[in-house]
Amino acid sequence: MTCPIESFLQLDYHLYTNPIPETFAPSHFISDNLREELQKRSESSHTIPSMPYHVPEELQGYHSLVPLEPITPERRKFVSWFSTVYRATSINDGAAYVLRRIENFRLTNHAAFGMIESWSRIRHPNIVRVREAFTTRAFNDSSLVVCYDYHPDSQSLMELYFRSMSPSILHGQLSAPLGRIPEATLWTYIIQIANAIRAAHEAGLAVRMIDPAKILLTGKNRLRINACGIVDVLLYDTRQDAGLAQQDDLVMFGRLVIALCCGSITALNALPKALEVMSRVYSAEIKTLALYLISKPAPHKTIAQIMELIGTNRLAREMDEMQIANDRLETELMSELENGRLVRLLCKFGFINERPEFAREPRWSETGDRYIIKLFRDYVFHQVDENGNPVVNLSHVLTCLNKLDCGSDERVMLVSRDEQSCLVVSYKEVKACIESAFRSVSAVSVQK
């Protein structure tokens, strides 16, 4: 989770959708699940821990720094240094980013930042984008800071699959894995990680850290390798040949696959037992792939070959799933597109109806175009039943607004509240009235 500090305020997401009128057709709006997911992301981007924390007010063009993890005594080291991750807002574009600070790190060779530049040129859907790096004394030490894209409400594979487990499982006593990852999901993960490694290797880089704590799940089954480039800077002086480091990537990848299959990060310490668990639970192909990944380096052992081992069938299936997910999102987007259009129409209504400046001039709203708009507003929103009770029918409202927006020739009978006047007009005519009334309001308005 991006905000693991427990005392954060929790929102009840369903308050946004309840109560749902009986006539409410859910297909008019994005699904509750997607709304909840997006709402959580938005909330994560704004939450701050309630416990006190000390951060510089401004840091090389970033402000509003917020730690994304509690600073506890049992912190793990990042290579040989302690690190802290902050969310921060950029002064340049107002967007949120992640700043990973390596504490007490003294940069001896400025050329090391060349590696960050190389990483920043990689734009890949399975790699958290690297933005820039700098050193700073703003934390009262010499710190290295690397800036990454921020993925709100993401969770690392470590948090998702390993941290909630009992210490015996974390420390290698393998039993049937708790919360076993379905094989289809595992293949999705394998393909995405392999794809990220492929992008890095093709650019002549090595990922150097394929660790469950540094792989983020940023959406449903969507992985991104995080914290790229830092190890290149930290170990710049003792850097390894890129080819050897790339071979190491494949071994780390194999270890990760075994850990995910067995539900233990130390599964490799008892390899025969781990392989037995894998054979029991997963297909032979996963075991073959994992064994090949952890095998000794060889000239032909490359990420391209791993892709071949994964097989075109699986890659094609993954592509199908991605396109289906894309279609689903486009459909959801379409319904919100309609809503955006309708909100603009409603705003126009709001600007025109019951303007207090014209209150002393009833002719403004009681004659011509404006009168039609007033009656139409009543027709859309203020319907009553035979007993005079309000009718709240969202479908009626949406249908009318859609017909209005497209200027349909369909006619509608508008009746005044005192039932003394009655007009038959087309939606097209009402639309023209709204346009003209809106134009006359905006002509005398002070544009902001």
Ligand X SMILES: Nc1ncnc2c1ncn2[C@@H]1O[C@H](COP(=O)(O)OP(=O)(O)OP(=O)(O)O)[C@@H](O)[C@H]1O
Residues making up the annotated binding site for ATP are 100, 149-156, 213-214
Helical (H) or strand (E) element with 99: strand 96-102
In Å, what is the CA distance from 278 to each residue of 53, 221, 269, 285, 308?
A: 44, 21, 14, 10, 21
Please identify, using beta-carbon distances, which residue of 72 and 387 lies nearer to ligand X: 72
Between 189 and 427, CB nearer to ligand X:
189
Shortest CB 155 distance to ligand X, Å: 6
Return the residue of 30, 65, 128, 262 that touches ligand X, per CB under 6 A: 128
Residues 198-227 within binding reach of ligand X (CB under 6 A): 213-214, 216, 226-227
Binding ligand X (rule: CB under 6 A), the pick from 119, 150, 162, 349 is 150
In this complex, which beta carbon is closest to ligand X, that of residue 148 or of residue 349? 148
Q: Which of 34, 85, 235, 345 binds ligand X (CB under 6 A)?
A: 85
- HSE-CB at 12 with a 13 A cutoff on CA atoms is 4
Q: In whole angstroms, what is the distance from residue 431 CA to residue 329 CA?
A: 31
Q: What are phi and psi of 301, to 5 degrees?
A: -85, 95
Q: Which of 276, 270, 231, 268 is nearest to 249 (CA)?
A: 231
Smallest distance from the beta carbon of 160 to ligand X, in angstroms?
10
Q: For residues 60 and 339, which CB has a smaller minimum distance to ligand X in the complex? A: 60
Q: Which of 55, 88, 98, 130 binds ligand X (CB under 6 A)?
A: 98
Considering CB under 6 A, how many residues would be counted as binding ligand X? 22
Cα separation, 114 vs 132, whole angstroms: 10
Q: What is the DSSP string of 218-255?
A: EETTEEEE-STTHHHHHTSTTPPPHHHHHHHHHHHHHH
Residue count of the chain, please give it: 448
| Comparison of 2 and 195: residue with beta carbon closer to ligand X | 2
Rounded least distance, CB 178 to ligand X, Å: 19
Alpha-carbon gap, residue 160 to 230, rounded angstroms: 23
Residue of the chain from 126, 154, 192, 365 that contacts ligand X (CB under 6 A): 154
* Site stretch for ligand X (CB under 6 A), options 46-54, 150-158, 175-183, 352-360: 150-158
Question: Minimum distance between the CB of residue 4 and ligand X, rounded to whole angstroms?
Answer: 5
72 in contact with ligand X (CB under 6 A): no
Dist. CA 147–CA 169, nearest whole Å? 34
Residue 1 as a binder of ligand X (CB under 6 A): the answer is yes
Q: x/- site string to ligand X, residues 16 to 55, per CB under 6 A?
A: ----------------------------------------
Mind giving me the DSSP string for 247-282? Answer: HHHHHHHHHHHHHHHHT-TTGGGGHHHHHHHHHHHS
Q: Is the separation of the CB atoms in 85 and 99 below 8 Å?
A: yes
Taking CB under 6 A as the criterion, the residue among 5, 158, 346, 432 binding ligand X is 158
- Is 148 a binding residue for ligand X by CB under 6 A? The answer is yes
When asked if residue 86 is in the footprint of ligand X (CB under 6 A), the reply is no
Residue environment code for 98-135, b if the CB has 16+ CB neighbours within 10 A, otherwise e? bbbbbbebebeeeebbebbebbbebebebbbbbbbbbb
Structural tokens at position 278: 């894998």
Q: Is 174 in the site for ligand X (CB under 6 A)?
A: no
What is the spatial distance between Cα 364 and Cα 440, in angstroms, rounded to a whole number?
Answer: 11
Q: Residue 399: how many CB atoms within 10 A of its CB? A: 12
Applying CB under 6 A, does 160 fall inside the site for ligand X? Answer: no
| 365 binds ligand X, rule: CB under 6 A | no
Smallest gap, in angstroms, from Cβ of residue 218 to ligand X? 8
Determine the interface stretch with ligand X among 145-153, 301-309, 334-342, 358-366 (rule: CB under 6 A).
Answer: 145-153
- d(CA 174, CA 274) in angstroms, rounded, equals 7
Q: Binding residues for ligand X, per CB under 6 A?
A: 1-2, 4, 68-69, 76, 83, 85, 98, 128, 148-151, 154, 156, 158, 213-214, 216, 226-227
